[in-house]
Amino acid sequence: MLFDRTPVKTYTNPNVAKQVVRGTIYDRNQRILAIQTPYWGVYLHLNAVKDLQLVSEVIAPFVQMNPQEIQNKAASYTTYAQIKERIDEQMVQPLLDAIQKYSLKGQVNVEKRIGRTYPAQFHASQTIGFTNTEGEGIEGIELSQESYLNPYPEIGEALVTYGQDITLTLDLDIQYALDVQLQQIADEHNPDYAMAIVLDAANADILGMGSYPWYDINNLSSSNAEQRKNHAVNHLFEPGSVFKLFSLASVLKAGQAQTSELFECDGSYTFKAGASNITINCTAVHGQVDPKTMISKSCNGAIVHWALQTDPQAFYDTLSRLGFNSSYDIGLPSRARSQIALPSTWSGRSQATIAFGQELLSSALHLATAATALCPSGELLQPNLILRRTSPVDGSILYERQRVVLDTVLDSEIANLIRSGMFTATEEGGTGVHARVSGIDIGVKTGTAQILNPQTNSYEDGTVLASALAMVPIENPKYIIYIGAGNPKGNTIWGSNIAAPAIANLVQTLVSQGKLTPKDTAIR
């Protein structure tokens, strides 16, 4: 006799939760940015419809369409037609009553589904991202935090598995104020794009991050790729004169340039590169220039002169330590990397052009983050977008961001000198005078950078990036603000006339919100 000695294995499918509820996304003040909500859609069983004219006339008022639109939409389907993906919840019961009244049950379906709602609409839309019809994250935080927001169903007796709630560092009050300024820039100057960021100077929390053009996440189908691009973190560009802050920091840290000697600016500066003479122009004759004046008047000649007196490797090393060869993981799907070529690859004019913000690539995030090293501590901080993750069941904190010092780059004397120059820029004769707000000490550096045309490899088509970087209050900064507009087409192209006033308006709003206090305010 033969016996099958193979042991018999039996399997029992484990019990798993029948439903997964996607986690909610909040701003730092627990205002909802994204939440699971039920919604009702209207569908037609075309094979069961006896009188399409009657059906369309009955449901028209409830789906906010006219009967002909309903019939046209139904014509694009063969058996089951989606007439309206979402209707107002208040219309559901009256529609069901109408279906009952006209005996349309089986012909018209009103289906309840679970979707995602974004109460802030277009505000921070590129940061938040969105989900697909299956409830899976596709872009932004919704994508990068998918495994936390939308976990696998738990094994056990529980019927529902809840995704983690995510609190962002964003402050919707600041986000709204920032977006108002971007919209005003768009209305007045018609740029191809604009971007802005507000950092908490003490811990590098991203309090506001805006990108124009934008879109309403709740109306995703009407958006395009350009609207969904987050220019504040993913757009790399040559920053122009704003970068002089960091070039000067690098020069001062190396300590090799004769910055104590006044530079005489006659409107241009010529230096030798091999056998060639290269001339750099300023926008005006600046006269005698010291480091503070270089910042306040944005003198190309002075910063080039000092940069050329500095060892190229030392100059490069400090800029790298300030983050200009790095990418930052802030919890978004992509990480743009700032780029400066190695000194061994530089041409005879590279160090000069890098000094005033050309021949490198940066982002708004990199510029704002580098400015954390201009605070009195000289510390470069890791920027943060995700404040914490929590359990929706018991509220326990599963992750919380920490203040992370990436590097101590500058001593306080250098940082204080640079901020002093930024403050001088808001005084009469400075390029940042339009950023001034009564009772608030603001420091600013403006820039108007030529945009390189990659097709022609030249700057000759005249497009520019108008921008400004500000720190407020300048003595001990609380906020770092960057605003930039690409290819403005209004009556001015200058960062001093486009970005600087926007910063002033934003700071004034922060005062109105109680987030900044004017110096002459009595404390009671």
pLDDT digits (tens, 9 = 90+) for 194-219: 999 999 999 999 999 999 999 999 88
Rounded distance between C-alpha atoms, residue 59 and residue 41, angstroms? 12
Give the model confidence (pLDDT) of 277-292 as tens digits: 999 999 899 999 999 9
The whole-number pLDDT of residue 11 equals 53
* Averaged confidence pLDDT in the chain: 92
User: Domain 174-382+404-512 sits in which CATH superfamily?
Assistant: DD-peptidase/beta-lactamase superfamily (3.40.710.10)
Question: For 322, which DSSP code?
Answer: I
* Helical ranges in 382-494 per DSSP H: 412-424
Strand ranges for 274-410 from DSSP E: 276-281, 287-289, 379-381, 386-390, 397-400, 405-408
For the segment 83-98, the average pLDDT, to the nearest whole number, is: 88
For the segment 381-398, the average pLDDT, to the nearest whole number, is: 95
The whole-number pLDDT of residue 377 equals 96
- Find the range with the poorest average confidence among 165-174, 220-229, 294-303, 309-318: 220-229
Assess whether pLDDT exceeds 80 at residue 13. Answer: no
Note whether 84 and 118 are within 8 A (CB): no
pTM of the predicted structure, to 2 decimals: 0.87
Scored b (16 or more CB within 10 A) or e, 86-112 reads ebeeebbeebeebbeebebeebbbbee
Rounded distance between C-alpha atoms, residue 354 and residue 376, angstroms? 25
Percent of the chain with pLDDT strictly greater than 90: 78
Q: Where are the domains of the chain?
A: 174-382+404-512
pLDDT-derived band at 265, boundaries 50, 70, 90:
very high
Instruction: Provide the phi-psi class of 162: left if phi over 0, else alpha when psi is between -120 and 50, else beta.
Output: beta
For the segment 468-475, the average pLDDT, to the nearest whole number, is: 97
Give the model confidence (pLDDT) of 418-444 as tens digits: 999 999 999 999 999 999 999 999 999
